[in-house]
Chains A and B, each alone.
Chain A
Amino acid sequence: GAVVSQHPSWVICKSGTSVKIECRSLDFQATTMFWYRQFPKQSLMLMATSNEGSKATYEQGVEKDKFLINHASLTLSTLTVTSAHPEDSSFYICSAQMGEWDEQFFGPGTRLTVL
């Protein structure tokens, strides 16, 4: 149980385009989903926290207009990187949590390369 999927697993796009990444909890309802970014050989960096039906809470330094998060249902959250640039190239990982006392289950990650 507690499986989280992400799609796509990797994407290459041109600078200036937008990319949407989906995160789904497959066998449980996630009250909260998290979006992380990880650069090579660095630790996870939390970008934002989203609760179903409400606006995401962004971490300091993360541009909410650039990284659009939609948590449409208890099993789906999307991250859209708008007007992507090469510096946005990174490993984006989502996680989902059933309740605030539960552990986070991570998706397999999406590797974004912006040319």
Chain B
Amino acid sequence: GQNIDQPTEMTATEGAIVQINCTYQTSGFNGLFWYQQHAGEAPTFLSYNVLDGLEEKGRFSSFLSRSKGYSYLLLKELQMKDSASYLCAVRDSNYQLIWGAGTKLIIKP
């Protein structure tokens, strides 16, 4: 079966750095996405990785290792507004998005 694993919840301090991991086992691979979802709102797109390596976008970076079935989302200089759920999703060989359950990130002052 297809599976995406990410931690259920993480806590970090304002101004610090946090890394949210995602491991996957899917039927084929056509890219990995990270989305941010604030409570009661729809997800918003953060990043996309299809090749191995690091993609940097401002305070957010996303890393992919296809051989290990592994990705992480790195958030730097954390702000209170970064408190949200972070969803990892993998596009499989049928171009279907397989969603992880999401990681709830709690930022403390």
A residues adjacent to B (C-beta < 8 A)? 34, 42-44, 46, 49, 91, 93, 100-101, 103-109, 111
What are 18 A-to-B residue pairs whose CB atoms are below 8 Å?
A: A43-B87, A43-B99, A43-B102, A44-B99, A46-B97, A91-B40, A101-B30, A101-B31, A103-B33, A103-B45, A103-B48, A104-B33, A104-B97, A106-B42, A106-B44, A106-B45, A108-B42, A109-B42
Chain B residues with CB under 8 A of A91: 40
Docked complex Cα distance between A65 and B87 (Å): 30
Question: Which residues of chain B are near A104, meaning CB under 8 Å?
Answer: 33, 45, 97
Shortest B28–chain A CB gap in Å is: 13
Give the nearest-CB partner of B98 in chain A.
A46
Residue of A nearest to B45 (CB): A103
| Contact assessment for B43 and A44 in the assembled complex, using a CB-CB cutoff below 8 Å | yes
A residues less than 8 Å from B100 (CB atoms): 43
Closest Cβ of chain A: how far from B48's Cβ, in Å? 6
Q: Are B43 and A106 in contact (CB under 8 A)?
A: yes
Chain B residues, CB < 8 A from A42: 101
B-side interface residues, number (CB < 8 Å) = 19
Which DSSP category, helix, strand, loop or mixed, fits chain A's interface? loop
Q: Mark B35-78, 1 if CB is under 8 A from A, else 0.
A: 10000111111001000000000000000000000000000000
Q: How far is the CA of A93 from the CA of B38 in the complex (A)?
A: 14
- A46, A93, A100, A103: the one contacting B42 at CB < 8 Å is A93
User: What is the bound-complex CA distance between A24 and B72, given in angstroms?
Assistant: 32
Neighbouring A residues of B48 by C-beta, 8 Å: 103
